[in-house]
Amino acid sequence: MGAGNTASTSVRIVALGGLGEIGLNLMVLECAGRGLVVDCGVMFPEDRLLGSGVYIPELSWLLESKLTLEAVVLTHAHEDHIGALPHLLRRFPIPVYGTGLTLAFARRRLEDAGLGESADLRPLAPAGRFQAGPFEVEAIRVTHSTPDSLALAIRTPAGTIVHTGDFKIDEAPVDGQHFDTARFAALGEEGVRLLLSDSTNVEREGRSGSESSLRPVLRSLVTRTRKRFFLSAFSSHIHRIRQVAEVSREMGRRVVPLGRRMAESVRLGLETGQLAFPPGTFLEPEEAEFLEPHRVAFLTSGSQGEPLSALARLATDTHPRLRIEPGDTVVLSSRFIPGNERTINTLVNHFYKLGAEVFYGAVAPVHVSGHASRDELAEMIRLTRPQFFVPVHGEYRHLSRHVALAVEAGIPERDCFLLEDGDSLTITASEAYRSRPAMAGRILFEGGELEDAALLDERRTLAHDGTVIAVLAVSTSTGMIVAGPDLVSRGLVSGDGTSAHMRAAREELRARLAAMETPLRAADTRLRDEVVRTLRRYFIDAVGKRPFVIPHIMEVP
């Protein structure tokens, strides 16, 4: 086979997000200069106190690679898979494929970004197929924590690639739409070259519980609630919203969405038929003011403690319409995402102080994961029987443990590849091998603006190590320092610059500057670098802090 033919039949998988972290999912399949994008999601910063923005994937490689992108296909409606879609479509106005509910959520994101009219959204039903350049994509129904979730069988010149999306094997799904075990088994019979499989829950033994197992738990909690019932979950968790609404109707309660995202999700669920309830089931907050407390249940956004969410405002008693009272029940029906635990625990404490009874994962079974545990992950491998295996969607430890599980399930270790963001894998008719890396990373999107991700590093330094401002004046005629250096600190050491540490730092800086060759100029990078280097070294050695140092150098006659 000639080099040209090899290039035209080989397929390269490039990870631009979602491998080495939870969220930021974006994968590209490349063949003969054409590309297919799978998902385009966001990730929330680890420390939400440092900002209210989100991370989006760095797209520089796509811009520089000169690929002709054919389409983007979305596996499901969660933000970590669709949230960055506007940023992709601004640069690449390509067709977007997804199920009805997924496209409804995506359309909301695009309308918020001013792209609702121009986006080319194309419905893709389970068992449906479409052609995108050299790729034929087949949608396969899987069960997850949001309806209409898909896995993908992508037929390529190098063989069939199966991408599971986020999944679990739910034996009793809320909507009756079962995981398509038979189709995965048929693909395994046909031959799967590569399996890309969700790794989120690989550390959990056994199988993940069914979403419908929450119904009796919710019924029990609603029944014992004397006054108002509040449940917080991800706004895209339509299955959870549906079960709360069903139980509330049984108990004679109306359901009130709180927060813009939650209200929009309910509206989209009603429009798409995923929430098939009669009129009057859901009320606006102002309508609920006339109902007795035991006749209402609230769905709230902010399950991860987001500072301006409805849940946070209820906990801090700053909500404009509602106040938590003794006899109310608050249910946090979601997993605490790592990094958010302290914030969420603070909200729980606030709710208790206001007199509410609070239920969350540590004290009651009020959440069921939407991701496959180890037995289900092993079953996916047995069903598809892939020649090659790559774990996706997880932190490094999840990916590593999933590789070990694949080896246990019978895939040779040499045929398992642990990739991280920026890594790529090339598959040919005869082999699979690591190929040239791609530039990958993350960008902060906050307040409608794209920011360098280093901005959060600066905020983290300011929060943990403080800042020092060094002020000095240089004579334009002599090039000598004629005033200063004077130091001002915030968040580093107490005092107004007269503390022992500040005096010692000033003397050390003065000595270092006196030893520099003259003449000096305010724009001289040597001078600025020496100020930063000297002060940072002093405070690292003296107090174990690495402050953000800001030189302010003036020129005077």
Among all chains, which residue has been given the structure tokens 């301006």? 308
Burial of 131 (0-12, 13-18, 19+ CB in 10 A): exposed
List 80, 148, 170, 198, catalytic entry: 198
Select from 206, 169, 224, 214 the least CA-distant residue to 365: 214
Annotated active-site residue 371? The verdict is yes
- Residues 64-103 as b or e (16 or more Cβ within 10 Å = b): ebebebbbbbbbbbbbbbbbbbbbbbeebebbbbbbbbbb
CB atoms closer than 10 angstroms to residue 164? 25
Of 388, 381, 385, the closest CA to residue 430 belongs to 388
Q: How far apart are CA 256 and CA 23, in angstroms?
A: 29
* Cα 522 to Cα 372: distance, rounded to the nearest angstrom: 60
Assess contact for 106 and 98: CB atoms under 8 A: yes
Helix H or strand E encompassing 110:
helix 100-112
Residue tagged 């209820």 (tokens): 314
| Rounded CA separation 27/41 (Å) | 10
Cα separation, 386 vs 191, in Å, equals: 7
Whether residue 167 contacts residue 180, with contact meaning beta carbons closer than 8 Å, is answered with no
CA 273, 278, 282, 284 torsion-angle sign: positive
**Dihedral over Cα of 111, 113, 118, 124: its sign:** negative
Q: Name 172's Cβ contacts closer than 8 Å, sequence gap at least 6.
A: 210, 211, 212, 213
Would you call 377 exposed, middle or buried from its count of C-beta atoms within 10 A (0-12, 13-18, 19+)? buried
Catalytic residue among 76, 81, 237, 371: 371
Tokens of 550: 């800001």
Given a contact cutoff of 8 angstroms between Cβ atoms, the answer to whether 168 and 71 are in contact is no
Question: How far out from the chain centre does Cα 382 lie?
Answer: 29
Query: Cis omega before residue 485 (within 30°)?
Result: yes
**Which DSSP letter does residue 209 get?**
P
Instruction: Say if residues 88 and 102 touch (Cβ distance below 8 Å).
Output: no
Distance CA 51, CA 342 (A): 16
CA 257 distance to own-chain centroid: 23
Q: Token pair for residue 315?
A: 């906990």
User: Active site includes 198?
Assistant: yes
Active site residues: 198, 371
